[in-house]
Chains A and B, each alone.
Chain A
Amino acid sequence: MIRKLFDIIANNAVPAVFIIISAFAIPLSGYSGTYLVQELITRIGRNSFLILSLLIPIMAGMGLNFGMVLGAMAGQIGLLLIYDWGVVGIPGMVLACLIGTPIAVLLGMFCGAVLNRAKGREMVTSYILGFFINGVYQMVVLYLMGWVIPITNPTLLLSRGYGVRNAVSLLGIRGVLDNLLPTVIAGTEGAKQFLSVQGNGAFFVMHLPFLGGAIRIPLATLIVIGLFCVFIVWFRKTKLGQDMRAIGQSQSVADSAGIAVNRTRIIAIVISTVLACYGQIIYLQNMGTLNTYNSHDQTGMFSIAALLIGGASVSHASIANVFVGVVLFHLMFIVAPVAGKNLVGDAQIGEYFRVFVSYGIIALALVLHAWRRNREREASRRSLRGNKGGE
């Protein structure tokens, strides 16, 4: 009974704590509801895809795939190349995905093979692997691009003639997916104001009279994310998905049931890496600038933190966790600096606070997971001993 209560609390503690923090921080920040909703919808469009890419390795019992940054790097290479070739708009995004896919597949296969050699330590290994491939990525982008890999556009290169600049503006594909089906939800006044601004066309305007301002909806991005969710639901039911779940339960049982464990694990990581590649491309088309050497750095950390804040654990994560996580994590992201500033007069504190929370939440989730697993192991051992004693 107490045990069950403990489990319920442990399972939902993280989202609950976040809701409480937000409940205090939102009034402190002084932001309007419309502004917050607008920001949240933008961020759901920007980040959900990346976070969804984490689900499949968790299903296969491989824990949080810190190696998703590999996919992010593949996506960035695709974006750099289309920038150089001058392909813009939706064709540019599709081409970037097409370039990124084979790179992501190769990196994913490499990552999967490495992780198969480090069973039981997948997370720390994929984490270090991220750093390692980051070194390789930097070598490619900083030294080989413009030297071995032909780059013709001089605005992309450093003044020395090779190596890509630190900040690349992605004006060509900025917002192309978000604004493919421009949609606005607005009050009567808000809609008038919004449409009166030059260049603000809307494919679809929805009137909500009580709303103060106007909220832009990145409809096409949300549709893509929705399709992806459908894909995951469908994938779980396929033979491959079932195999992965079996492996997640017990590798040895799955192995004796005739499932090719290592191969399936590699496939799980490949899928995750490729999806992370697309996720990063969607993320960057929303941001509009690519920080060549930093954009991918935090991708893994922020995505994982968001997923965990949504109530996922190392061994179990659902689509609902993704969206709850995005909303709660980014709510804090938006309000923390301002709340910190209004509370103690220093925005830097709020900034550090949200960094602390991101890392702290990952630490907490990992500890809870390991702790629970060890307790379960202990309990099963005890029950085994008890049965023997009874016989």
Chain B
Amino acid sequence: MITRFIDKAGWPRIIIALFLLALFIAAPFVGVRVDTSLSNTLVRFGMNGVMVLAMIPMVQAGCGLNFGLPLGIIAGLLGATLSIEFNAEIMTRLVELAGQYKITWLTQEFVDNWRAAIGFGSAIVIAVPIAAVLGWFYGKLLNRVKGDEMMIATYVGFSSVSFMCIAWLLMPYKHPAMVWGYAGHGLRTTISVEGYWLHVLNDSLAVNINEHLKIPTGMLIFFAVMAVLVWVFMRTKTGTAMTAAGSNPEFARASGVNVDHMRTISVMLSTVLGAIGILVYQQSFGFIQLYMGPFYMALPAVASILLGGASVNKAGILNVIVGTFLFQGILTMTPSVINSYLQTDMSEVIRLIVSNGMILYALTRKVRG
């Protein structure tokens, strides 16, 4: 019974789960509040959840782990910066349009009250089509390099991030909150979203259980909605065809599934989810990180879903939830608990070893013959 469970869950996962449990048990003894830690873990879970969710479509369609997540993140960054750049225009246009089409509830007052949500919403609205287009090209590319997707995805991510470094400097953004003060052009490396949509999801419907434990309900609901959407999509006709294309391409083709088409859709979906994921992350984190910011963002997401029990060619929602919770739990707990115990910050080293160890474990497992 126990051996069956261990076999199914895999050793690394159990060790890490036990480690996390030990950290939670040890926390009170070194003066770290469990409720604060839990609250932090929940926030980080919500922040990163959607980006981990972005792994599912590509894994299911047989494109492997999406190391090219930075491409989606870039779309998200474009959405965020454009939404801030045109923030005022978006608001006035919205009221104008409401007047034109006689939408009575969409008044100036309503827009003023919901500024943050509208800004965040428009960032998503701008980011999604960009992500879809980038994803389409990315998907077409990955179709031509079957068998080497993961390595190429990594470098597609890297080169697009470094290409955007040049673009962030050259694009004609004007908003004074975003460009370098002295030069008057070129975006800053970090842009605060305060005054736009800081904590727009975190704070909506948030439940304060006590002063240390706060549940970011809005963000968790947003994650849940995205997860349900992905879950439903994977069960539609297209989703099933996608899974078939991933688990056995020859068989899928024989039953009339256009494998390449399915793979392209999965990559587009992954990229779009990556774009939405980074926006959720930013509204909680408080800053838009440009330039080299998105560079290594794929690795935590990849490690999370693997930690949750996914393999290189099979992943589900449960893997996302378990994995993100475990991974973010460790990231939250190691600095606070181990620091108080050893007086040093080992979190970075532990993060490196755990996340990359997990990816290595998944890559070296014999999956198919």
Contact = CB atoms under 8 A, between A and B. Distances in A.
Interface of A: 114, 117-118, 120-121, 123-125, 127-129, 131-132, 134-136, 138-139, 142-143, 160, 344, 346, 348-349, 352-353, 355-356, 358-360, 362-363, 366-367, 369-371, 373-374
A125 B363 CA distance: 7
Contact of B145 (A160, A355, A366): A366
B206 interface: no
19 contacts: A117-B366, A120-B147, A121-B151, A121-B363, A127-B154, A128-B356, A128-B359, A132-B356, A134-B356, A139-B346, A139-B353, A160-B344, A358-B162, A363-B158, A366-B152, A370-B145, A370-B152, A371-B144, A373-B147
Contacts of A366: 145, 148, 151-152, 155
A374 B360 contact: no
A337 to B, nearest CB: 13
Contacts of A371: 144-145
A367 B166 contact: no
B158 A124 contact: no
B255 interface: no
Contact of B364 (A117, A139, A367, A370): A117
Contact of B159 (A121, A134, A160, A359): A359
Contacts of B147: 120, 370, 373-374
A70 to B, nearest CB: 13
Contacts of A160: 344
A359 B349 contact: no
A124 B363 contact: yes
Determine the main DSSP class of A at the interface with B: helix
B170 interface: yes
Interface in B111-168: 141, 144-148, 150-152, 154-156, 158-159, 162-163, 165-166
Contact of A131 (B156, B170, B344, B356): B356
Contact of A363 (B150, B155, B348, B360): B155
Contact of A138 (B67, B349, B363): B349
B169 interface: yes
Contacts of A348: 169
A160 B67 CA distance: 38
A352 B166 contact: yes
A348 to B, nearest CB: 6
A127 B360 contact: no
A225 to B, nearest CB: 28
B299 interface: yes
Given A349-B169, A359-B158, A135 B353 contact: yes
B352 interface: yes
A305 B154 CA distance: 14
Given A135-B356, A136-B353, A374-B146, A123 B166 contact: no
A355 B359 contact: no
A359 B162 contact: yes
B356 to A, nearest CB: 4
B166 A356 contact: yes
A124 B348 contact: no
Contacts of A143: 344, 346, 349
B166 A125 contact: no
B349 A128 contact: no
A367 B365 CA distance: 25
A367 B144 contact: yes
A132 B352 contact: yes
A270 to B, nearest CB: 18
A360 B165 CA distance: 13
A117 B361 CA distance: 10
Q: Sort A-B residue pairs by CB-CB distance and give the 6 closest, nearest first.
A: A135-B352, A370-B145, A363-B155, A135-B353, A132-B356, A356-B162
